[in-house]
């Protein structure tokens, strides 16, 4: 229930042990004035610094201001603890078009993602100029934060889409138990963890010389809303489910091992002469050994948006992955998965976004993305 520090070298909400709930939002900037955009980022940063510490969005709060004016906080988080709220911002490729004079500051790593085989992307829930990931252990606290950022942004940004998520599908610390996704499998076993500082420097944080200086200490976020065909999955035999991932359902152990954190042995063959971990299994295709050592920090959430009118759950994984360079990490991994993964029979990618997440805000005089402007 405590507070996560807002100021730091890196933004919070990335290596922060994954909280239980998500409210993710993508905004379109509707003002054409660069000055108004900068002012908004300053106002947002101040509000975020307050809300993550369990305070109201503005200094007067839901009931302390002028009764003749709308309150500077909407009130639904009054009396609730900070709940480990983190707010993490990212800038999409479209922010670097001609509108704000930022074209020459676009990092080469902030590529438009290619289309992958099988993509069924819905434009209305893809892209966005700016994203904010709110994570908290209380969904009301996460929703309150995004609602107040949208309220503050009125007239300067509009909400393009937002997504609620629950039951974090990744652990980002060895102190956390690995949770399960909606297919019932442990998810996040072989993930980058905050304790592995050297790995984070290699695979997560943008280093000096990687691209424009304003991104040093930042990272790139790829989000994919992946619908999961729950009812079809639920009719698949257990052995097939386990073969698809290459891991067992009970403990999450590789099919060649016993314990969750055993290394998979891709060379091992069974009595039939075939590899124990199938060629088209998810874990084999996504494994760093297949991608020149590339890794991701996965930080996704389950979602259930009710049902779809045909009696099926409208549910899946809101996949989020942070990385140093999507050209070397997400893109080649997803290309391999999109082409060969046995899981594809049970999933569909319906939305997509890529964002440059600047480094952390150092103190009250700093603001989100200051070095960009």
The binding site for ligand HEM (CB under 6 A) comprises 181, 183, 185-191, 224, 226, 228, 245, 247, 252, 282-283, 286-288, 296, 316-317, 319, 330, 333-334, 337, 347
In the complex, least distance from residue 331 CB atom to ligand HEM, rounded to whole angstroms: 8
Residue whose C-alpha is closest to residue 370's, from 86, 136, 45 = 45
How far is C-alpha 146 from the chain's CA centre?
Answer: 15
In the complex, least distance from residue 174 CB atom to ligand HEM, rounded to whole angstroms: 14
Specify the residue for token string 């490729």. Answer: 93
Please, which residues have CB within 8 angstroms of residue 29's CB and are 6 or more apart in sequence?
37, 95, 99, 100, 129, 130, 156, 157
Q: Which is nearer to ligand HEM, 44 or 322 (CB)?
A: 322
Q: Which alpha helices (H) appear in the chain, and where do they start and end?
A: 34-51, 139-152, 197-203, 230-233, 238-245, 282-286, 330-340
Residue whose C-alpha is closest to residue 299's, from 5, 4, 13 = 13
In the complex, least distance from residue 333 CB atom to ligand HEM, rounded to whole angstroms: 4
Q: Which is nearer to ligand HEM, 10 or 282 (CB)?
A: 282
Q: Which is nearer to ligand HEM, 259 or 363 (CB)?
A: 259
In the complex, least distance from residue 219 CB atom to ligand HEM, rounded to whole angstroms: 16
In the complex, least distance from residue 334 CB atom to ligand HEM, rounded to whole angstroms: 4
Q: Which is nearer to ligand HEM, 91 or 185 (CB)?
A: 185
Please, which residues have CB within 8 angstroms of residue 309's CB and are 6 or more apart in sequence?
none
Dihedral sign for Cα atoms in the order 199, 204, 206, 209: positive
In the complex, least distance from residue 322 CB atom to ligand HEM, rounded to whole angstroms: 12
Calpha distance 63→73 (Å, rounded): 8
Q: Which is nearer to ligand HEM, 152 or 200 (CB)?
A: 200
| Beta-carbon-side half-sphere exposure of residue 355 (alpha carbons within 13 Å) | 28
Q: Which is nearer to ligand HEM, 141 or 226 (CB)?
A: 226
In the complex, least distance from residue 226 CB atom to ligand HEM, rounded to whole angstroms: 4
Work out the number of other CB atoms within 10 angstroms of the CB of residue 322: 31
Q: Which is nearer to ligand HEM, 106 or 224 (CB)?
A: 224
Dihedral sign for Cα atoms in the order 154, 155, 157, 162: positive
């Amino acid at each position: 229930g405590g507070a996560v520090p807002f100021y730091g070298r890196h933004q919070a909400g990335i290596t922060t042990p994954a909280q239980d709930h998500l409210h993710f939002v993508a905004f379109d900037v509707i003002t054409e004035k660069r000055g108004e955009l900068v002012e908004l980022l300053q106002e947002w940063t101040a509000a975020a610094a307050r809300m993550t510490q369990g305070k109201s969005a503005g200094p007067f709060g839901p009931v302390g201001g002028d009764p003749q004016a709308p309150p500077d906080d909407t009130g639904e988080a009054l009396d609730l603890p900070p709940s480990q709220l983190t707010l993490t911002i990212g800038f999409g490729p479209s922010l670097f078009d001609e509108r704000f004079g930022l074209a020459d500051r676009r990092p080469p790593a902030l590529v438009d993602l290619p289309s992958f085989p099988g993509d069924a992307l819905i434009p209305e829930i893809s892209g966005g100029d700016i994203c904010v990931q709110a994570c908290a252990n209380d969904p009301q606290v996460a929703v309150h934060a995004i609602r107040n950022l949208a309220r503050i942004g009125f007239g300067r940004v509009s909400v393009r889409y937002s997504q609620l998520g629950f039951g974090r599908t990744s652990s980002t610390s060895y102190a956390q138990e690995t949770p399960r996704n909606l297919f019932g499998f442990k998810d996040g076993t072989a993930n980058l963890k905050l304790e592995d500082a050297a790995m984070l420097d290699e695979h997560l944080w943008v280093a000096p010389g990687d691209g424009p200086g304003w991104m040093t200490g930042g990272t790139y976020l790829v989000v994919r809303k992946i619908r999961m065909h729950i009812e079809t999955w639920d009719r698949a035999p257990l052995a097939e489910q386990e073969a698809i991932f290459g891991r067992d359902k009970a403990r999450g152990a590789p099919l060649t091992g016993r314990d969750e954190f055993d290394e998979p042995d891709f060379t091992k063959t069974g009595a039939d002469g075939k590899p124990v971990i199938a060629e088209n299994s998810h874990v084999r295709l996504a494994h760093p050994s297949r991608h020149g050592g590339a890794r991701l920090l996965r930080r996704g959430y389950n979602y259930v948006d009710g049902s779809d009118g045909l009696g099926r759950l409208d549910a899946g994984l809101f996949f989020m992955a942070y990385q140093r360079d999507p050209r070397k990490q997400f893109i080649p991994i997803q290309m391999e998965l999109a082409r060969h993964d046995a899981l594809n029979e049970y999933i569909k990618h319906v939305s997509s976004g890529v964002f440059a997440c600047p480094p952390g805000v150092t103190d009250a005089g700093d603001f989100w993305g200051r070095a960009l402007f």
